[in-house]
Amino acid sequence: MTDIQNFINEADKKSKFLKLIEGEPVIATFKGASMIDDTFNPGKKTMEYRVEVDEVEKSFKSGSTSLARQFAGIKSGDKVKIVKTGNAFTTRWYVTKEA
């Protein structure tokens, strides 16, 4: 592994934001969600989701109602599998509760 890749990996581990590689599932513990002001669209709201991955709490934001519906039946403390496909306007989220 190169120094550059090591640097990227360490930064990703320390980041408070969840970074998803397209199509690659992440297993996490759901910690909760909050409706917040959308920094990119003043006057609008978005959701911030909090999950724990490898004992580190991370968050991500999305205005997707499809994603919100998938999280609606998930309780804090539940294990989930999260997969993201696409980018920008073609992003699709898939969240399933793990046993």
Could you write out the DSSP letters of every residue in 1-57?
--HHHHHHHHHHHH-SB----TT--EEEEEEEEEEEE-TTSTT-EEEEEEEEETTEE
Task: Give the chain's domains with CATH numbers.
Answer: 17-97 (2.40.50.140)
Tell whether pTM > 0.75: yes
For 41-55, how does the pLDDT look when each residue is reduced to its tens digit (9 = 90+)? 899 999 999 999 989
CA–CA gap between residue 10 and residue 29 (Å, rounded): 21
Residue 19 has pLDDT above 80, yes or no: yes
